Structure 1
Amino acid sequence: MRLEGKTAFVTGGSHGIGREIAEKFAREGADVAFNYGHDEAGADATKAAIAATGRRALGVRADLRDLAALREMVASAVRTFGRLDILVNNAGVEHKADFWDVTEDDYDRVLDVNLKGLFFTTQAFVRHLRDTSRPGKVINISSIHEDLPFPGFASYCASKGGVRMLTRNLAVELGPLGITVNAIAPGAIETPINTVLLNNPNLLKTLIDHIPLGRLGKPKDVAGLALYLASADADYVNGSTYYIDGGLTVSYHEQ
């Protein structure tokens, strides 16, 4: 059990990559808290899966755009478990629109969840570690679109570019405290955020033709990498971004 005795917090844990990471961590010995927005059924399923491993689970409904709410969700996890050791910033949203049609509300929603929410959730976690004089691990779930352009998703790309730089900056700033900060940049993964893609055979085939491994990724692929970064095996890994995209980024080209 690679996370025996550890406690983790995963944002966006009611479905997709977040749920897979939460369940993977629990199977490896960690107690797991997670947040969710509106998916009560998904949250219940995640809690049940964690409990089935014999580990403790806590689901907290919180809007990551609300600083008071996100600070309270971290505090509630600390009250419940007594400590936190690992933070996975997984929650994210996107909005498709031509650049000239993007509204302020759409922009704010994407940046507030993907970057601002991540920033201040990490701050609350780091304050807890400093107050208790303990090391810890931060894992940011970014995207290949922190580097690869994605026309029609300018605000999403801007948010993930911010995550890339924030990861590197915090690795330097927090390293002396024994806190490592790394990121995972998934490519096309079979999750609800890609429902439109999954339901469009022509678009899906075009994308898969660009992926050397010839398939989409699965949430378990990302969870396995997150487990490595959360474990003692990655204690000397800091400031890195791991692309997990089947080779898409290095092979992609416009037709």
Structure 2
Amino acid sequence: MLLKDKVVLITGGSRGIGAAVAVEMAKQGADVAINSNSGGAAAAEVIAAVEAHGRRCISVEGDVALPETATAFVNAAVEAFGRVDVFVSNAGICPFHAFLDMPAETLKRTMEVNLHGAYFMTQAAANQMVKQGNGGAIVAISSISALVGGEFQTHYTPTKAGVHSLMQSCAIALGRHGIRCNSVLPGTILTDINRDDLSDPAKREYMEGRIPLGRLGQPEDIGGAVAFLASDMAAYVTGAALLVDGGAFVNLQ
């Protein structure tokens, strides 16, 4: 129970990595608030999964690209649970596209959701933590793509590098308030973002062959890393980046 009776907020929490993190937070004893752009049945499933572990959960709909969504999300969590102890910035999109004819709107939307959304949400959560005066933990889901390139991800990789950089700078800005800021860099995790891209058996086999542990990641593989960084076990860890990629990044030969 690393997070017993803590309150954890998660963006993009209705599916994929966000949903898996929400359930892991509940397993570790936390109450959970999730934000998603659509909510609906997917959010209801996450709420049910959290409640199955004896914890409370709320869902707040809203577009993370809008600053007012961040304020509304934090306010709703405080109204429901009284405070914010941990914030997990997870919401992100990656509409794969070639570089030379990248639509301006695709680039703009990816930047707004992945980077601007992380900024606004982190800022709102941090302000609440400062107001409470008891410190806190912020964990951003960056990506191995912050460290490597991607032919069809020229709009996506800069946002993930930016998310990691945001955590480094926030670690400095918020350290005096006892707020720790770290990033998790997942490798290839099977989610809705890349399911179509990995539907080709040959490509999937190639990707699995590059990973020393011999398999693609599952959303649940990220939950433990987030729980550690959010917990008091990481009390002296801030400004760090934790690769969770099955060894893919170091397998250069």
TM-score interval, normalised by the smaller of the two chains: over 0.9
Give the 4+ runs in structure 1 shifted more than 6 A. none
Match of 1:132 in 2: 132
> Where in structure 2 are the equivalents of 1:125-204 lying within 5 Å?
125-204=125-204
Deviations 1:189-241 (A, max 9, x none): 12111211331101111111111111101111110111111111011111000
Letter of the structure 2 residue corresponding to residue 240 of structure 1: A
Match of 2:3 in 1: 3
Q: Distance in 2 between matches of 1:170 and 1:243?
A: 19
Q: CA deviation at 1:102?
A: 1.1
Q: Under a length normalisation based on structure 1, what TM-score does the superposition of the two structures give? A: 0.96
Q: Determine if the alignment matches structure 1 residue 87 to structure 2 residue 87.
A: yes
Asked if the contact 2:146–2:160 (Cα under 8 Å) also holds between the matched residues in 1, the reply is yes
Q: Distance in 1 between matches of 2:164 and 2:147?
A: 9
Alignment root-mean-square deviation, CA: 1.1
> Where in structure 2 are the equivalents of 1:53-68 lying within 5 Å?
53-68=53-68
Q: Distance in 2 between matches of 1:167 and 1:73?
A: 20
Closer/same/farther in 2, CA of residues 78 and 30 from structure 1, 3 Å limit:
same
Match of 2:229 in 1: 229
Q: Which runs of no fewer than 5 residues in structure 1 stay unpaired? A: none
Q: CA deviation at 1:41?
A: 1.0
Q: Which shifted more, 190-199 or 144-153? A: 190-199
Q: Distance in 1 between matches of 2:165 and 2:108?
A: 19
Closer/same/farther in 2, CA of residues 103 and 197 from structure 1, 3 Å limit:
closer
Match of 2:75 in 1: 75
Asked if the contact 2:39–2:59 (Cα under 8 Å) also holds between the matched residues in 1, the reply is no
Q: Determine if the alignment matches structure 1 residue 113 to structure 2 residue 121.
A: no
Deviations 1:70-105 (A, max 9, x none): 211111111111101000001110122221211221
Q: Distance in 2 between matches of 1:244 and 1:123?
A: 25
> Where in structure 2 are the equivalents of 1:212-251 lying within 5 Å?
212-251=212-251
Q: Under a length normalisation based on structure 2, what TM-score does the superposition of the two structures give? A: 0.97
Letter of the structure 1 residue corresponding to residue 235 of structure 2: D
Q: Percent identity?
A: 38
How many residues matched? 253
Deviations 1:111-131 (A, max 9, x none): 111100000101001111111
SS of aligned partner of 2:25? helix
Q: CA deviation at 1:252?
A: 4.2
